Amino acid sequence: MKRGCAITMVVAGVFCWFAQGAGAEEFERFKGGVGLGLMAFDRADNLDPDGSKRHIDSLDEKAERELTVIPVLAPFFSYDVGAPGGGVVQFMVRPPIEEAGGLVVNLGATYYLPAGGAVELNGLVAPLEEVWENPYLVGERRSTTDSPKYGLHLAWKEIGTTGLSLHVVYLQDDVDNDRIGELMPQLARDGSVYALAAEYRLPVSKAFELKTRASYVQGDYDGESSSFSRYRIRVQASYRLGAVTLKPEISYRHTSYDEIDPVFGKTREEDAYGIDLTVQYQAPFGWQGWALQGMAGYGRGDDDITFYETETVRFGSLLTYFF
């Protein structure tokens, strides 16, 4: 976490340094904000060091939930470069897809098209991700290893002002010490992830809108048993009532793995479900330019192999200042 916060603060500091040295006209080109808060995850996942114990006694049981509380620093900045048609350079901390991990640093640019919509390209890095060196080690203490990810996110947003957006994501996943991949090459975890998503935003009224996102994700790993095909759909509503905005969301995904798992002798299939609610309150306590967010959610993954079943309860709060 310290390393990720340091990277975030360094890049954010570069933007702030440019903003401080700019004149009044230049300063107006800067927009953004900083969010600070806490998130808590009560998670059960035998493959995740934050969702399972170091010591396990059996491969026949799903993980017991482990509570993790983390501080959140979420800066986002953009600078208008003054290009014809409109273009900005931006920095943010946001995962483009779930497979990227939790803290994902994005740095890129957006160009606004004369006919409507925008094209956005971001380079991204997830420096904090960790996995177990060998998640199937029974009766001994399991060790963690770094699993950083990096890649690109290309988006064509609000195509021709239709409300339709398209996203393409590429991720490279490198496990520093993939012990299980050395013992069982079919489970090697170095590889790439490719994702294609379509998102449609439907404004129903001035206060209410619906957003649907469908995506296909291909995991192409060195181990055929770690490679997968995944389909995901997410539906989010947004309802604004004065200073309060409610954003409920439901999601579903199905994952099929390419080859038989050599540990359990069968090919994995997974169905996962999620429900989330975000409540945002503008100008809390009369503070103009501020917003207070509360978040809560529940997710569950049903796998045909008990060891891989997952469950997550998440909640948190974030106070954000916009400028």
Q: Structural domains in the chain?
A: 2-322 (2.40.160.40)
Query: Looking at the predicted structure, is the pLDDT value of residue 165 above 90?
Result: yes
The residue type found at 196 is L
Report how far apart, in Å, the C-alpha atoms of 302 and of each of 232, 253, 310 are.
15, 10, 7
pLDDT band (50, 70, 90) for residue 9: very low
Q: Are 188 and 177 in contact (CB under 8 A)?
A: no
Query: Looking at the predicted structure, is the pLDDT value of residue 10 above 60?
Result: no
Quickly count: other Cβ atoms within 10 Å of residue 1's Cβ.
11
pTM passes above 0.85: yes
The residue type found at 72 is V
Query: Looking at the predicted structure, is the pLDDT value of residue 60 above 50?
Result: yes
pLDDT at 5: 46
E strand or H helix at 14: helix 2-21
